[in-house]
Amino acid sequence: MQNKINFLRRKNIFPLFLLQNYSSECIIIDEYYITEELMDKISLLQSRRNALLQAGEAVRKSVSALIDADSFVETDSFSFSGNEFYGENAEGEGVVTGLATLVDTPVAIVALNAAVLSGGLTLAGCKKIVKCLEKAENASAPVVYLLSSQGVVAGEGVNVLEGVAEVVAKMDELKGYVPQFAVVLGDVLGSASLFVAEADYAYYLKDSCVSYASPLVIAAKSNLSADKAKIGGAAATEYTNLATFTVESLEEVKDSIANVLNVLPAYGGELLETGDDLNRAFPGLNEKACAK
């Protein structure tokens, strides 16, 4: 009983008999008192949740168009860096991550939200992406990146470059282990363009652009026209082979990814019966494991 009371105290939830002389105003829910302090925390959580949903409305529609209905489970939705340069917290940090199914195949989703910080990468956002990739590795789940970003957030300084390096290193670790698909929704500039290069397959939607330097910067230095299509569009990647597919809609992307996964041995087709005995003894293993 005492352990239960201590737990309730830590959670700011108190049984009725403990609060007969409690001076603060409380609310009764299922025979328990919930203090105003806890109600304030609940209200804060609800307001932040509403802000998250509002800021990520567009990117969540893109995610929903790519996956099976009602299959998306978001992870680390309340991540933020608290960087003093922002002036206030940027809910979601421009990154939406989670797990879902695509044509009944479990996948991990990483979506850069252009509506928050222009899809800019922060250290906290990069840590969030790495955590999602680790979940994908543990579940042997393919990863789908939905990308639209202006690069890193300048206010982060060099710290964010550490985060970008961790993401790229983790993506490189996953190569040959789980397939990775990059879907270019719009402009993907700066360090975010590395994600496209690291992915196994890249889908370019109409008017999308991938460039490490901004087309405006390239145009200024070369005295050429700032034509995004010529600088970083699908046609411009003829010599780099970054663009695996050029598509018109996310529905095409979904069908294409499903076809690719169906061809890959680990994700499509039926298991082949070898007829081998699972309990078969192999003396050679004992010889190699011998201390001699």
pLDDT tens digits in sequence order for the chain, 292 residues long:
444 444 444 444 444 444 444 444 444 444 444 555 666 777 777 777 777 777 778 888 999 999 999 899 988 877 766 655 554 556 666 789 999 999 999 999 999 988 888 888 888 889 999 999 999 999 999 999 999 998 888 877 788 899 999 999 999 999 988 999 999 998 888 899 999 999 999 999 988 888 887 777 777 777 777 777 777 777 777 666 777 888 899 999 999 999 999 888 776 555 667 788 877 887 777 776 655 5
Residue ranges of the alpha helices (H) in the chain?
2-10, 36-55, 57-66, 123-139, 159-174, 193-198, 215-222, 228-232, 250-263, 283-289
Q: Where, residue-wise, is CATH 3.90.226.10 in the chain?
A: 58-263
CB 93 within 8 A of CB 75: no
Structure tokens given for 89: 């917290």
Answer positive or negative: Cα dihedral of 127, 119, 169, 264. positive
- Strand pairing report for 201-204 and 105-112: unpaired
The CATH architecture one would assign to domain 58-263 is Alpha-Beta Complex (3.90)
239 is written with which tokens?
Answer: 């010599």
* Residue the block writes with tokens 């780099």: 240
Q: Per the confidence metrics, is the pTM higher than 0.85?
A: no
* C-alpha dist (Å) from residue 139 to 62, 128, 261, 272: 23, 17, 15, 22
